[in-house]
């Protein structure tokens, strides 16, 4: 999973998704969040299984608040998916 650490990195990930017609998953997390800690290895495993999908994470405590506001994030973890069909698949992979 790639780390998004700035507004420029977020813009690059989104632009790459559009340019390559590739769905992306963004995991908005915090290092103190127990649910985030539990979820991250599961997403890393799924990322290895689906190399055609871009997987990223954002530690909300390490990025400028403008990045968090742009993502419209209020709770962690928040997972954003750029493709609805892939969202359905991700739910099946995580929850069976």
* Residues that are catalytic: 33, 36
Residue identified by tokens 């599961």 is 42
Residue 58: its H or E element: strand 54-59
Encoding tokens for residue 86? 């892939």
What does each C-alpha distance from 43 to 35, 36, 65 come to in angstroms?
12, 10, 24
């Amino acid at each position: 999973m790639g780390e998004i650490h700035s507004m420029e990195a977020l813009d690059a990930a989104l632009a790459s998704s559009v340019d390559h017609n590739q769905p992306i998953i963004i995991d908005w997390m915090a290092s103190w969040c127990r649910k985030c800690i539990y979820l991250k290895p599961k997403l890393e495993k799924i990322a290895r299984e689906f190399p055609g999908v871009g997987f990223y994470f954002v530690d909300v405590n390490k990025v400028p608040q403008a990045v968090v506001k742009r993502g419209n994030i209020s709770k962690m973890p928040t997972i954003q998916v750029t493709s609805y069909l892939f969202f359905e698949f991700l739910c099946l992979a995580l929850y069976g």
